Chains A and B, each alone.
Chain A
Amino acid sequence: MASVKELRLRIKSVGNIKQITRAMEMVASTKLRRFQDRAVSSRPYAEEIAGLVQGLAAVLGPEALDRPLFNVGSGEKICVLLVSSDRGLCGAYNTNLFSELERWLVVQKSAGVEEQDIDFFVYGRKGFQYLSKRGLNVETFLVEPPLESIDFSQAAATSNRLVEAFLSGAYKRVELLYTSFETMVRYVPRVVPFLPVEDQASEGDQEDSGGASDVILEPDAETIFDSLIPRYLEVRIFNALLESLTSEYASRRASMKAATDAATDMQGALKGQYNRLRQESITMELLDLVGGVEALK
């Protein structure tokens, strides 16, 4: 059984931890709100771009899909952009991401793709550390700028790098592994195909093939389409990054809240123990005194 003094020290240190976790919870909530706002305000642009892609794909018809970015690449390897966090203390955020990665690797293996044939582009130090420890190929670790201060032009630069890597013929596919933000308490790691683009654009064929055909196109559909697709890909990367960041902070806030609550509980329990022990020792002293006085009589 701990002594009164030890207990007092422990109560104090739990209190300190509680202060820190509470502060971190506040910081995480503020950042969460900021990234959420950004995600919301980027939505109109993303929707418009996706709408244009669908409309134009409908105008151009099936031959639109016969472009380098729409066909499986000539390479043997697969490229993955992994979006993780730079810092820990965010609950199961990274762990969930990595177990999704492991699941995906197993699926790839059963499809005949070995681990050496997968190259990674990584956001976030945690992801880089994990991949290095696992012995997987890290092609590029995207450190500059840090993920947190990402803006659209940097997301666009990353997208262009991926597109260049794909067009260079080294890869047959490019995939995104990020955490999609569904609600405040639900964020799911997910692998989505990034390149080739076939899937998303062909959805548009059925949707509005009627209305879009009598649109004036300046200079012409092909040119617009060619410059539209990179924009579309940029938006997808930007969204994936924003969603991951939002998820990270939602996860961090939740785990810091749990930590603060746990500290409060522990403080309560320790305080109870401390009071009981203190009372016990006072009673003992009193008994000693009374016993001493009795003996002197």
Chain B
Amino acid sequence: MAQELTLRVITPEKVLIDTTATSVQVPATDGSMGVFPRHAAMIAALGPGHLTFNDGKQSHDLFVAGGFAEVHDNTLRILTPAGEEPSEIDEERAKEAEVRARARLKPSRTDMTADEARIDIARANAALHRALMRLKVKGHAR
């Protein structure tokens, strides 16, 4: 039997996933990172992105909106403000969000100070990233 690790995805609203997995891919801030059974203790910051895990039979996809991954005693805990399964992702909404974010990134606005603009661009970038990641997870699952 293949080795397994415990995967728990925890959001403020509930424990979303509590299962065993043979491998997990987490969207760390520095890029996607694989976690296998008996991984060394680790704490990683996550960006919004695509989490995949294999429960020994098939692979599953999940969108996570940032957060943290903690590996301890062969247990991987994902703490995220929001996690969505592909079936829960509202494709329309994500697309709208993408369009909105792109519009905000157009350099046509002059009604803001440099500081405000910088923050606004950072926010729009983050929103765009989230929207694209949601769409990616959704598309991947089909």
Contact = CB atoms under 8 A, between A and B. Distances in A.
Interface residues of B, number: 24
Determine the main DSSP class of B at the interface with A: strand
Contacts, number: 78
B133 interface: no
Given A42-B12, A224-B68, A219 B30 contact: yes
Interface string B1-44: 00000000011111100000000000011100100000011111
Contacts of A235: 12
Given A48-B77, A52-B79, A228-B68, A152 B42 contact: no
B81 A218 contact: no
Nearest to A235: B12
A52 B12 contact: no
A48 B67 CA distance: 12
A49 B43 CA distance: 12
Interface string A65-81: 00000000000000000
Contacts of B41: 214-216
Interface string A134-176: 0000000000000000011100100000000000000000000
A146 B69 CA distance: 33
Contacts of A45: 10-12, 79
Contacts of A214: 41
B81 A227 contact: no
Interface of A: 38, 41-42, 44-46, 48-49, 52, 55-56, 151-153, 156, 214-219, 223-224, 227-228, 231, 234-235, 238
Interface of B: 10-15, 28-30, 33, 40-45, 66-68, 70, 77, 79, 81-82
